[in-house]
Amino acid sequence: MKKRILFASVLLLLLSTYNIQKSSNLNAEFNIKKIDIENNKFIDDKILKNKLSFLYETNLFLLNKKELKLKLQEIDFINSFEVKKVFPNKIKIKVYENIPIAIIQNKMEKKFYTNNGKAIDFIEIEEFSDLPLVFGDHKSFLDFHEVLKKVNFPLSETKKFYLFESKRWDIVTKNNQTIKLPIKNYEISLQNFIDLKDRINFGNYNIFDYRINNQIILK
């Protein structure tokens, strides 16, 4: 009788060990082995994968999206992201990047100013090497930029923007022509400048001064 009880106990122990090992092996099959990055144009894959290296061997079922979000937010260029689990052991991360529209120049420091109004760290990227510089308080630049787009201002021909304490903008083109805008209703002045671009003698002037209402001074 004792032998039967002992045999049954040993058999139960073996079966339990087998089931635990089987469950452990099954869970290991869902540990992350590969991370695919999609839609990144400016951020190198290596930078992203290094930032996300903590995910390797994490079980797909236990993926912590809050922790993932915190890590990705450490990269200035990332605006948002989507994550997709690909069973048994892979995740796909689609990133949406902030797009620089200008470079903020503040004393010796440079920052990118993005299409959603963020100032992010400046890094050398050839595609953005020709962006215009913004001097002064950049917080209102996004609204100003929207007006420029609305009137089809030639942004690709622009070199610098200056915002003065009076909240008045100057624009310097790549041809070193300066447009001095009024504080208010400058949309009309911008449209007038665009119309003048088609004139034969347009290149003879370096300054287009619109600061006085209903008047333009050419120099």
| Residue finishing a domain among 97, 113, 138 | 97
pLDDT beyond 70 at 10: no
- Residue 39 CA: distances (Å) to CA of 56, 63, 93, 148, 203: 21, 21, 9, 28, 42
Indicate whether 16 belongs to any domain. no
117 shares a domain with 67? no
Q: Which three-class secondary structure state does DSSP give residue 201?
A: coil
pLDDT beyond 70 at 212: yes
**Model pLDDT for residues 29-65, shown as the tens digit of each residue:** 889 999 999 999 999 899 999 999 999 999 999 999 9
122 shares a domain with 197? yes
201 shares a domain with 115? yes
pLDDT at position 23, please? 41
Residue with tokens 């929207």: 146
CATH number, position 74: 3.10.20.310
Averaged pLDDT, 115-119:
91
Indicate whether 182 belongs to any domain. yes
Of the listed ranges 123-127, 175-179, 185-189, the one predicted with least confidence? 123-127
110 shares a domain with 91? no
Q: Which two tokens stand for residue 27?
A: 């869970």
**Model pLDDT for residues 70-112, shown as the tens digit of each residue:** 999 999 999 999 999 999 999 999 999 999 999 998 877 899 9
Indicate whether 153 belongs to any domain. yes
116 shares a domain with 203? yes
pLDDT at position 21, please? 42
Indicate whether 39 belongs to any domain. yes
pLDDT at position 16, please? 44
180 shares a domain with 121? yes
The CA distance from 24 to 189, in Å, is: 72
pLDDT at position 19, please? 42
Q: Which two tokens stand for residue 5?
A: 């009880």
Indicate whether 118 belongs to any domain. yes
pLDDT at position 1, please? 54
| Residue finishing a domain among 38, 64, 97 | 97
CATH number, position 185: 3.40.50.11690
Work out the burial of residue 141: count CB atoms within 10 Å of its CB; fewer than 13 is exposed, 13-18 middle, 19 or more buried. Answer: buried
Averaged pLDDT, 171-178:
96
Indicate whether 206 belongs to any domain. yes
Domain holding 125, by residue range, is: 100-218
- As for how many domains the chain has, the answer is 2
Give residues with Cβ within 8 angstroms of 110, minimum separation 6.
103, 104, 122
Mean pLDDT of the chain: 86
Indicate whether 75 belongs to any domain. yes
pLDDT at position 7, please? 41
First to last CA, the chain: 114
